[in-house]
Structure 1
Amino acid sequence: MRSGDQYYNDATWNVTYVDSHDYAPDQAPENQRFAGTQDTWAENLDLMFTFRGIPAIFYGSEIEFQKGAVIDPGPNAPLSKTGRAYYGDHIEGNVTVQDYGKYTNATGTLAESLNHPLAKHIRQLNLIRRAVPALQKGQYSTENVTGNLAFKRRYTDADKGIDSFALVTISGNATFTGIPNGTYVDAVTGDSKTVTDGKITLTCSGKGNARVYVLNGRGGIGETGTYLK
């Protein structure tokens, strides 16, 4: 949790996740894989890929595999009924990989899995994260930020000539003040806003939607889908 960042030398190296092979967010009545709504999952993923830390995805989460299943019900339950069930049936087929996050000619159940709304959501988030250094290594702050899930991140590396500054809001609107003037471009939609007075208001509607406005950035990264739009 963010409140514990004070105990780490550099929290940007923390691995962040919602569920795993041992841990799940729903502890009652038993430890089970994420069982919430799909838009809630999309919102969680937005936060994981834009907030500090390194996002980790438990296999199958991209298609809500074994949703709500108890991760480890004990030695007498068949593996197929657990949260660790065999996933291989869902990735049978072929695919031609062209580049990072880009592919064609997917077939079989693999094609179905890749076309799932959350799988497409993760792919776009990953492309955006890769294109914005601030989302990978930047320090975060909520100072002078109004909004429920909103923050700013900045990463600089003078030796490499990097100064990456991003404003993020998830599922709702947000206002940022005291920011550098300049042109900010939304990595999701490509929308461009020019700031001249150190203030910007970002509009974002729909649970699981997000805006990532980057100073002197580029927009329209990846293919928008059910949630990022």
Structure 2
Amino acid sequence: MAMAEQDTDTIRASRGLEDGDPSVRLRAALAVGTAPDPRFVDTLVERCAIEPEFHVRDMLTWALTRHPASMTVPRLLDELRSERAQARSQALHTLSKIGDRQAWPAITRALLTDADDEVARSAWRAAVVLVPEGEETGLAAVLATQFGRGGHETRLSLSRALVALGEVIMPALRAAMTDPDPRVRAHAIATERLSRDPDAGFEFAIEEAKRVVALGGPGQEE
């Protein structure tokens, strides 16, 4: 009888995660996370790939973090090879929340430079969390290749990721501050200023950096 009840609960939760009403999906994800069950892992991961509502995706991620990493991480690593950008992005986001460094080898250069901005941003955040000691410099070098990319939020995400790595970013930062591309220079200068004064804010830093570049000033302040 208990097994039959469990099967009924599984079916009910699965249907809830697919309901047309976002509030129903949110409650279903909350219920699954509150009472973790290995049978839900595949369903949660699959739903992450297609869920249109941000707050529901966040609850799906939370529900996954409530399950053992030994069950969730291998399944999430499979998603990193998906052709669906949201599947890759959400898997990376969830891996960053789980924080299991065994996932590090899967954070490839291809993901860190993914053509989809959301995937790349998620990869940057995950990489900063998962990078093993001693490999920060190599990660900084790859991240620096993305200077000047995308809109405000993408640039801010990259700067935050780099700043979180600490002093190891300085060689890559200095090189980017003399790059021929003015967008790269401005972004690198803004990141350097943000690293020195996090309270200044990125918007202020990027505007100041643009002025420096426009005036033909040095890549670094003397």
Scaled by the length of structure 2, what TM-score is found?
Answer: 0.23
Of Structure 1 and Structure 2, the greater helix share is in: 2
Q: Which has the higher contact order (CA 8 A, sep 6+)?
A: 1
Scaled by the length of structure 1, what TM-score is found?
Answer: 0.23
Of Structure 1 and Structure 2, the greater strand share is in: 1
